[in-house]
């Protein structure tokens, strides 16, 4: 069920995201700052909703939290694709964030309880591979559906997310976790108690502070890049003719859809191979090894981001974009395993939600800064600013590695 849900969700996200930013650029006519502000609305909402919804999963039911979240995501994308108006798109981001936070943390906590923490690391990596294959399927479908309308994949994705929620409601199990029904007279005490439990775990495990600080930096740099890299390519380069596809479906929109879809498929295949290599390192979790892997991958990511922003060659730029995408796909399950290590079950979703929340804070702060720079100067300078924002993660990870090794020596 976990792998099926991972595959399907990834396919639907790819169905939507293959055209989503292009829809904002060509149909909604958003400028660079508006593109970033759309993401900021999403991340600010995640910051507000993340811990309360994580506590719902720890207090009531991970299963219920996931089903509700998937349903809300579907509604949000229906709204997003129906009205290409800036404020409506912003509203859809808030609803999407609410749905996402019901699934964030709850999904990882659910599978950790169902299969056991010792198997969860492998489950995360294998699910990432399923997600990458789902991304390929969703991207191929997006090419076909976009020939009808550039917004059609967004609307179809919203409908299928709602159907996925219905499927999970019918068939998703929850065997190894039993939440407590909320007593209206004592409900908030339950929520506060679980929240405090999550804070206590962070205090007991000081290593989590450094890990969460790294998560903040990953969010701090990423929002600007995520929202502007496609606009950067469209502004800086002229995309080549797409052959028969351009002959049948003319226009800049469809040409961009074709090349971005091809890019996403290539990225998914490469990322699947990359996570397969990482998988063998997680059969026996060694925390110092996780830190070393994060340092190496983050260094590669920094250099690739720098090259992507300054290169004047389209092929080199696309190659660097693939490296950035693969490294980010590989970092995610390693980081999640790092945060998840030795967490008590009763606060697992809450602490995992904290990790998503610090990422959201980073994106909320960093995104508008990059957006203002991109609008006032150029998108290239905005991307260079985003690259500089990632740099502090390297000394943080080096320091965390030393602490982990010292703690291991004491043990």
Task: Give CA–CA dist 107/309, Å, rounded.
Answer: 35
Residue the block writes with tokens 């997003």: 80
Rounded Cα distance between 55 and 51, Å, is: 6
User: Quick one: DSSP state of residue 249?
Assistant: S
Q: How far apart are CA 138 and CA 12, in angstroms?
A: 6
Measured distance CA(264)–CA(272) in Å, rounded: 12
CATH topology of domain 2-410: Growth Hormone; Chain: A; (1.20.1250)
Instruction: Please give the pLDDT value at position 7.
Output: 93
Rounded distance, CA 82 to CA 210, Å?
42
CB atoms near residue 405 (< 10 Å): 14
Residue reference for tokens 């595959």 = 7
For residues 137, 140, 142, 144, the Cα torsion angle rounded to the nearest 10 degrees is -130
Q: Where are the beta strands (DSSP E) in 112-237?
A: none
d(C-alpha 34, C-alpha 49), whole Å: 22
Question: Is-contact 168 67, C-beta < 8 A?
Answer: yes
Cα separation, 254 vs 244, whole angstroms? 12
Query: Encoding tokens for residue 346?
Result: 């009763």
How far, in Å, CA of 348 to CA of 106, rounded?
A: 8
What tokens were used for 395?
């000394």
By CB atoms closer than 10 A (0-12, 13-18, 19+), residue 15 is buried
- State the pLDDT at residue 96: 94
Backbone phi and psi for residue 370, each to the nearest 5 degrees, phi listed first: -65, -40
- The rounded distance, in Å, linking the Cα atoms of 37 and 43 is 10
- Looking at residue 186, its pLDDT comes to 45
Residue 94 has what pLDDT? 94
The predicted structure's pLDDT at residue 322: 94
Q: What is the pLDDT of residue 381?
A: 95
Q: Where are the domains of the chain?
A: 2-410
Q: Which residue has the tokens 């967004």?
A: 154
The pLDDT, as a whole number, for residue 241 is 67
Going by C-alpha positions, the residue among 54, 53, 94 that lies closest to residue 77 is: 94
Q: Which residues of the chain have pLDDT under 70?
A: 51, 54, 57, 117-118, 177-207, 241-253, 279-288, 341-353, 403-411
Predicted pLDDT at 26 = 86
Characterize 232-254 residue by residue with b for buried, 16 or more Cβ atoms within 10 angstroms of its Cβ, and e for exposed.
bbbeeeeeeebeebeeebeeebb
Query: What is the C-alpha separation between 25 and 28, in angstroms, rounded?
Result: 6
- For residue 195, the model assigns a pLDDT of 58
Distance CA 65, CA 31 (A): 35
- Give the pLDDT confidence of 141-157 residue by residue, as tens digits: 998 898 888 899 999 99
Q: Is 335 within 8 Å of 212 (Cβ atoms)?
A: no
**Strand locations in 116-253, DSSP E?**
none
Token couple for 230: 């496609």
């Amino acid at each position: 069920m976990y792998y099926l849900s991972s595959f399907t969700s990834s396919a639907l996200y790819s169905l939507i995201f293959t055209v989503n930013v292009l829809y904002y650029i060509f149909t909604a006519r958003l400028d660079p700052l508006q593109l970033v502000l759309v993401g900021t609305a999403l991340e600010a909402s995640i910051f507000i909703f993340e811990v309360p919804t994580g506590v719902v999963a720890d207090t009531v039911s991970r299963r219920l939290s996931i089903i509700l979240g998937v349903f809300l995501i579907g509604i949000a994308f229906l709204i997003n694709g129906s009205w290409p108006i800036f404020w409506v798109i912003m509203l859809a981001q808030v609803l999407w964030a609410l749905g996402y936070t019901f699934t964030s943390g709850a999904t990882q906590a659910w599978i950790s309880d169902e299969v056991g923490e010792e198997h969860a690391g492998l489950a995360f990596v294998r699910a990432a591979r399923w997600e990458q294959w789902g991304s390929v399927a969703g991207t191929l479908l997006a090419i076909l559906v976009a020939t009808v309308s550039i917004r059609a994949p967004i609307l179809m994705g919203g409908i299928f997310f709602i159907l996925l929620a219905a499927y999970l409601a019918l068939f998703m199990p929850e065997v190894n976790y039993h939440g407590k029904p909320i007593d209206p007279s004592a409900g908030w005490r339950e929520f506060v108690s679980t929240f405090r439990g999550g804070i206590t775990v962070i205090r007991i495990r000081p290593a989590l502070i450094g890990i969460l600080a790294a998560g903040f930096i990953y969010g701090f740099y990423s929002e600007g890049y995520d929202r502007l890299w496609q606009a950067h390519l469209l502004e800086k380069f002229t995309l080549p003719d797409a052959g028969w596809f351009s002959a049948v479906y003319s226009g800049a929109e469809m040409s961009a859809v074709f090349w971005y879809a091809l890019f996403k498929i290539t990225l998914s295949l490469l990322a699947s191979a990359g996570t397969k290599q990482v998988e063998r390192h997680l059969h026996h979790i060694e925390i110092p090894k996780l830190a070393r892997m994060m340092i190496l991958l983050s260094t590669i990511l920094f250099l690739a981001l720098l090259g992507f922003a300054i290169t004047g060659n389209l092929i080199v730029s696309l190659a660097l974009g693939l490296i950035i995408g693969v490294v980010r796909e590989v970092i995610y399950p390693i980081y999640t395993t790092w945060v998840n290590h030795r967490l008590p079950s009763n606060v697992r979703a809450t602490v995992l939600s904290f990790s998503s929340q610090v990422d959201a804070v980073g994106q909320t702060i960093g995104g508008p800064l990059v957006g203002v720079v991109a609008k006032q100067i150029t998108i290239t300078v905005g991307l260079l600013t985003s690259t500089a924002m990632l740099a502090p993660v390297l000394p943080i990870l080096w320091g965390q590695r030393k602490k982990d090794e010292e703690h291991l020596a004491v043990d």
